Amino acid sequence: MGDRLNRFSLTDRVAVVTGASDGIGKAIALGLAEAGAHVVVCSRREEKLKEVKAGIEKLGRRSEVFVLDIRKIRDIEGLRDFILERFGKVDILVNNAGFASTKPAWDVTEEEWNLMTDTGFKGLFFCCQIIGSIMREHGYGKIINLSSTFSRSIVPNRAVYAAIKAGISHLTEALALEWAPHGIRVNALGPTAVLTPSRAEILKGDFLKKILNRIPLGRLATPEDLMDAAIYLSSPASDFVTGHTLFVDGGWVAAS
């Protein structure tokens, strides 16, 4: 049994997590470190990243901070150079950074459209391409993209966000097909509503009741739920898994 559990170990793997300053990204970064990985944490908020770095180092792992605006290709290229300089390789990339505007489709502005697509789709693709190029050189890697249940089943006022997440799941399949010969596995995580500090004001009252009524297991997702799934998709235990969106949703998609 011990040898089997070792298949989930990430000892001495190098991971990169975007959008790692709080919420899901922070939880995944800490979870990967707990499983043995060294982690480069990235976002635009340096002070928050330093807190995550300190938490990782308390677990006995190495961590580096890289301030990144994922909308800028030059920043992603800088991240690639930083990884090569500090670690010489990368085994795991978690594309968590994103932005959501919750409003009727009639009211979405061009500025909001650009912010959502540039952060959540353009930035994600070029992270896959640029950071994935390091994996290609080594013949192995795990890429995890953050999709959503909204890629398959939606609610009102999330039209653009849902379209981006559907695109992420489809892109995940396409990259998995293209990059399998290079030993790169590409998968996505599709959470339902996740109880994080930034969502606490939204996920309450009648809206919360409506969400819970659509989740057969009767609760919201937690960051830890995503953490555990990310460890699996990052580990050797999932080496024969690629091109999938793993819904961590309490049955939301099945019920829909």
DSSP 8-state code for residue 194: B
User: What dihedral do alpha carbons 104, 105, 109, 113 form, nearest 10°?
Assistant: 120
CB 29 within 8 Å of CB 13: no
Going along the chain, which residue ranges are E strands?
Answer: 14-18, 38-43, 63-67, 92-95, 141-146, 184-191, 245-248
Q: φ and ψ at 15, to 5 degrees? A: -120, 150
Among residues 66, 126, 150, 161, the one annotated as catalytic is 161
Report how far Cα 30 is from the mean position of its chain's Cα atoms: 13
Place of tokens 């009639």: 106
Judge whether 161 counts as a catalytic residue: yes
Residues with active-site annotation: 161
